[in-house]
Structure 1
Amino acid sequence: MASGQGAATPHGGHGMDEGVRRRDFLHIASGAFVAVGGAVAAWPFVQQMNPSADVLALSTIEVDLAPIEPGQAIKVKWQGKPVFVRNRTADELKAVDAVDVKSLRDPQSDDQRVKPEHKNWLVTMGVCTHLGCVPLGAAEGETRGEFGGYFCPCHGSHYDASGRIRKGPAPKNLEVPEYAFLSPTSIKIG
């Protein structure tokens, strides 16, 4: 037998080198099998934590703005809460722009509360920031309070046409939800 060469085994291999390579392959293959099996077993648990289709459907709504005339507002439901969508008049825009922001309890300019290219549209949550009542002013004929916006009948909070608190116990302005214009006459809330 020549030196430097492994002795041939009865199975045609070359001794220790062949056994080590097979053992390494078996360890790697069994480790990969266990990892894939673990991932397959864990997948249903991970998937069950994702929101269901009905919850995802409620996460956004589209609102058609075409039927809302200047000076009118509508109330829609999003995630179980009311949302006010208002088409403000030129007079309402002048009035909200004339307010000294520094004089407000929760100082926000009107421009911070609307989309600049659609300044006439105001979208706010219809929930008073005092104790969660639904203010009046979105439906035809409802009182809009002393500042022409919304009035909460529960404890007397008055909001202006920008949804900013002007009088009463509410500590904050009406919340503005995330929304985007899909077209000049359509928005998506959420």
Structure 2
Amino acid sequence: MIQTNAHPENAGPETRRDFLYYATGGAAAVATGAAIWPLIDSMNPSADVSALSVAQVDLEGVEPGSRITLKWKGKPVFIDHRPEARIAQARADDEATLIDPELDAERVQKAEWLIVVGVCTHLGCIPLGQGSGDPTGEYGGWFCPCHGSHYDTSGRIRKGPAPRNLDVPPYEFVTSTLVKIG
């Protein structure tokens, strides 16, 4: 005679055993999650790093033609108050053959203010051009002397080994002169 578990009198032990398996598995999953949560939580940025994720700068008093540098997320950010000549040069360069094609209008929110992360996209050097006596390269923007990358007045790579333009950080104008970066 073949016995099957189809009879109701045999359903009780199987159901209890299944419940115990599921309860044990669930408890093990919760215990594992509780044990590894501190490891996962430790991967979040610390409070001092999170505080640096947003920077605000008041641009009032920055004269046209001046460039300032500030730190955001441990990186330099170049802010260029571009005079009309630099804006015109950047717009004229829109038609040039570019390594990483991007229009000047796509890189700025206000034509007179260019805001870029001041880190060369080749090997992470800091390009020259922020200081009044610094070389600005062949295109009047920035020059990375380490490997010879030349950037134009819109921060676009024009010559050298850098593969792409200087990065534009996320930013917004809170007021006409107050900028929030990050």
Task: Bin the TM-score by the shorter chain.
Answer: 0.7 to 0.9
Partner of 2:15: none
CA RMSD of aligned residues (A): 2.3
Which of the pair has more CA radius of gyration? 1
**Aligned partner letter, 2:113:** W
**Preserved contact between residue 85 and residue 123 of structure 1 (Cα < 8 Å):** yes
Q: 1:48: how far off?
A: 5.7
1:188 aligned to 2:180?
A: yes
Shift of 1:100: 4.0
Tell me what 2:4 maps to: none
| Sequence identity percentage | 55
What letter corresponds to residue 46 of structure 2 in structure 1? S
Select which of 87, 91, 100 maps to 1:97: 91
Match of 1:53 in 2: 47
1:49 deviates by 5.8
Q: CA deviation at 1:67?
A: 2.6
Aligned length: 153
Distance change (3 Å), C-alpha of 1:155 and 1:167: same
Using the alignment, how far apart are the partners of 1:172 and 1:82 within structure 2? 17
CA contact (8 A) 2:94 2:104 kept: no
Aligned match of 1:67: 61
- SS of 1:96's partner is helix
**Offset of residue 101 of structure 1:** 4.0
1:103 offset after TM fit, Å?
1.0
Query: Is the Cα–Cα contact under 8 Å of residues 101 and 107 in structure 1 kept in the other structure?
Result: no
List, as ranges, runs of 4+ consecutive aligned residues in structure 1 with deviation greater than 2 Å: 44-53
- Paired amino acid for 1:146: E
- Decide whether aligned partners of structure 1 residues 48 and 120 sit closer, same or farther in structure 2, where only a CA change above 3 A counts: same
Q: 2:170: which partner in 1?
A: 178
Give the structure-1-normalised TM-score.
0.72
In structure 2, what is the Cα distance between the partners aligned to 1:91 and 1:52? 43
User: Given that residues 104 and 165 in structure 1 are in contact (C-alpha distance below 8 angstroms), is that contact kept between their aligned partners in structure 2?
Assistant: yes
Structure 2 match to 1:84: 78
Unaligned segments of structure 1, at least 5 residues: 1-37
- The 5 A counterparts of 1:148-159 are 148-159=140-151
Q: Structure 2 regions of 5+ residues with no counterpart? A: 1-29
